[in-house]
Amino acid sequence: MDPKHRQILQRNRYNLVTALNPAEICNGLLSKGVFTQDMIDEIQSKITRRDRARQLVINLETRGSQAFPVFLECLRETGQHDLAELLQCGDGARLPPPVPIQPSLIPLPVQNPKYTEKPDRPDFTPSRLEPLRPERLPVPNPLSPSSETQVVRPTRPRRDSIQCYKMDASPCGICLIINNVDFDPDCDLKDRKGSDIDCDKMEKRFKALNFEVIAKRNLKYKRIRHEMASLAKRDHSAYDCCVVIILSHGTEANHNRFPGAVHGVDGPAVPVQLITNYLNGQNCPSLQSKPKLFFIQACGGGEKDTGFEVSPDEVEPSMGGIDDQMDAIPISSSSDSLSTSDELDARATLPTPSDILVSYSTFPGYVSWRDTQAGSWYVENLDRVLEENAATDDLGTMLMKVNDAVSQISAKGLYKQMPGSFNFLRKLLYFQSSRS
């Protein structure tokens, strides 16, 4: 799209989100070749009209040079002449406010933290809030010679407090594993030997963490979306968490929050952004305020990292396997684009991406390495760190340990890998202790 037209859309984002009727215009944009069916499906998956209008504009900004004039034509064909004239003139004046539309979502209560200039004076009074009382340790009786001092170690809180997510349901939640191994010869993607080893490790690990594990193998593009949609439609009310693990080839993709895309065995790639959208608080109400965790073992792009020299005291180098392979192909694009000019649509809710963490096996843009005999570096170390530390450490701390371990491995004595995560969790997350 011409940058001038994109700026007009961005300047008038508020007017479009407020007044546009997406239902009337989608068919025209599809028939005229501006949108694909996948884009229409993505728009229609949104719950409210405002969200559908916003997604339509986001998708429109990613299209070609004819997208803007065709959009104006479709507006006029559907009787939305005021919007068409507004965009035609490039004027940023706002339209008269339309009749309010009652949102279909039930707002979530949000507590606004109170701040004070003096940190040593808490912002509450004893009459309104009961102060926290620390647990007392047993005190030995000096008059009793038989008494012995017992050391009581504080237990990790399992309740849903300001510090930690509630994680004591049984089972704790559903863990979906998508394991793509055998790819169609026509899509020029190699089979992912060693991925079954990763799948077995993750299945056993999350069963030990008290998750109900569902493993799917060799899913095509549409099947990946179907499985995610089915997971979103399930009732998660009795669970405390949801986990999705994807083992596949990957590539770069345009995005506005979570980078990358993962390939179905037939070739087309599903953006990670779209995968996470299925389970956000808007599209899956029964997972609202509960942690949604995504672990992605796939390449973030095609660039190889050769690292840089450091002091020998700073790292403990480790060599990769004898048959390391990559999970990468060149860049692709998705329907999500970065836009910074959207005006706020205020409601008393939590942000849509809240309570989501996406952990990537590699930094965006770079390849991810997998040993055909031992599995991927990332999954191998993730499994080990969870086994050794899940009973004591929170997830964020454990992922840093995974990052450190993987960063010290070298493929073919030359190439490096750096995992990372996009963390939108609001509290600490402790898994249930592993069960033998």
Catalytic one among 74, 172, 175, 299?
Answer: 299
Catalytic one among 236, 249, 255, 263?
Answer: 249
DSSP 353-390: TTTEEEEESS-TTB--EEETTTEEHHHHHHHHHHHHHT
Tell the burial category of 112 from Cβ atoms under 10 Å away from its Cβ (0-12, 13-18, 19+): exposed
Closest CA to 336 of 71, 67, 54, 87: 54
242 labelled catalytic: no
DSSP 151-164: PPPPPPP-S--SSB
249 labelled catalytic: yes
Radius of gyration of the chain (CA): 25
Alpha carbons 252 and 363: distance in angstroms, whole number: 11
Tell the burial category of 255 from Cβ atoms under 10 Å away from its Cβ (0-12, 13-18, 19+): buried
- Residue 341: count of CB within 10 angstroms of its CB: 12
Closest CA to 256 of 330, 327, 341: 341
Q: Check residue 341 and report its DSSP letter.
A: -
**378 and 370 in contact (C-beta within 8 Å)?**
no
Retrieve residue 182's tokens. 């055998």
Which residue do the tokens 């096996």 mark?
361
Query: Beta 356-360 vs 292-297: how paired, if at all?
Result: parallel
Residues comprising the chain, all counted: 436
Residues with catalytic function: 249, 299
